């Protein structure tokens, strides 16, 4: 049970992280300052540093919290019963059901990774891989063992699957595949059957 002071500190930290997330999504890591975050969160700079040692520390806490949430969400697809296709479908559905801001947050890793210290980079890479590629790889490995997929490099295949899903929420992807069902059908059919295989894509209701 939080004391009143601890509860206030917790709410303040949560507000700071919410504001920081919005700023980091709108601007590059280098362009966001602690002064901006303090001002937007309506806290003094001293109060901000009371919660976070610096911008990198704040960024790491923000990203780690988001990736932990995603890990818990996507793990439901890993542990569920079903075929490889069904489990990848469930994982893709979970990702696409996230608010756009949360979907975009993981993309900041590729954008900002080289601006962070080596220690921070390693922490962030570990959290990202645990949250998404490792879980997709686990499903694919299961599919290989079950004979649903031919023997392939599961790690490479996991990144290919993730890339397909992420490109479906790009500006072009949203225009061509406006519904979640169309996005998922496209990704699964392309991943499992390839561009020349017999797919179910023709059955979808495409926009004119």
State the span(s) of the chain assigned CATH 1.10.10.60: 1-52
Q: Determine whether domain 1-52 maps to CATH 3.40.109.10.
A: no
* Separation CA 128–CA 111 (nearest Å): 13
Torsions phi, psi of 146, nearest 5? Answer: -80, -5
110-151 pLDDT per residue, tens: 899 999 999 999 999 999 999 999 999 999 999 999 999 999
Question: What CATH number labels 55-203?
Answer: 1.10.357.10
59-101 pLDDT per residue, tens: 999 999 999 999 999 999 999 999 999 999 999 999 999 999 9
pLDDT for the residue numbered 7: 53
106-119 pLDDT per residue, tens: 889 889 999 999 99
State the span(s) of the chain assigned CATH 1.10.357.10: 55-203
Angle, alpha carbons 85-174-204 (nearest 5°): 50
Residue 99's contacts (CB-CB under 8 Å, 6 or more residues apart) are none
Say what the pTM is.
0.84
Q: Count CB neighbours of 54 within 10 A.
A: 11
């Amino acid at each position: 049970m939080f004391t009143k002071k601890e509860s206030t500190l917790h709410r303040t930290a949560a507000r700071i992280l919410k504001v920081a997330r919005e700023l980091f999504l709108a601007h590059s890591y280098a362009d966001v300052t602690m002064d901006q975050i303090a001002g937007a969160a309506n806290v003094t700079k001293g109060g901000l540093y009371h919660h976070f040692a610096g911008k990198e520390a704040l960024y790491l806490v923000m990203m780690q919290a988001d990736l932990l949430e995603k890990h818990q969400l996507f793990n439901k697809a890993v542990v569920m019963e079903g075929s490889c296709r069904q489990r990848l479908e469930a994982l893709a559905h979970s990702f696409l059901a996230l608010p756009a801001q949360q979907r975009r947050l993981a993309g900041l890793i590729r954008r900002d990774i080289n601006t962070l210290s080596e220690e921070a980079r390693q922490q962030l890479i570990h959290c990202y891989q645990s949250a998404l590629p490792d879980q997709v790889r686990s499903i694919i490995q299961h599919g290989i063992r079950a004979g649903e997929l031919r023997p392939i490099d599961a790690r490479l295949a996991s990144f290919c699957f993730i890339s397909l899903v992420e490109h479906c929420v790009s500006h072009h992807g949203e225009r061509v595949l406006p519904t979640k069902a169309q996005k998922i059908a496209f990704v699964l059919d392309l991943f499992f059957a390839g561009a020349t295989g017999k797919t179910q894509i023709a059955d979808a209701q495409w926009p004119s």
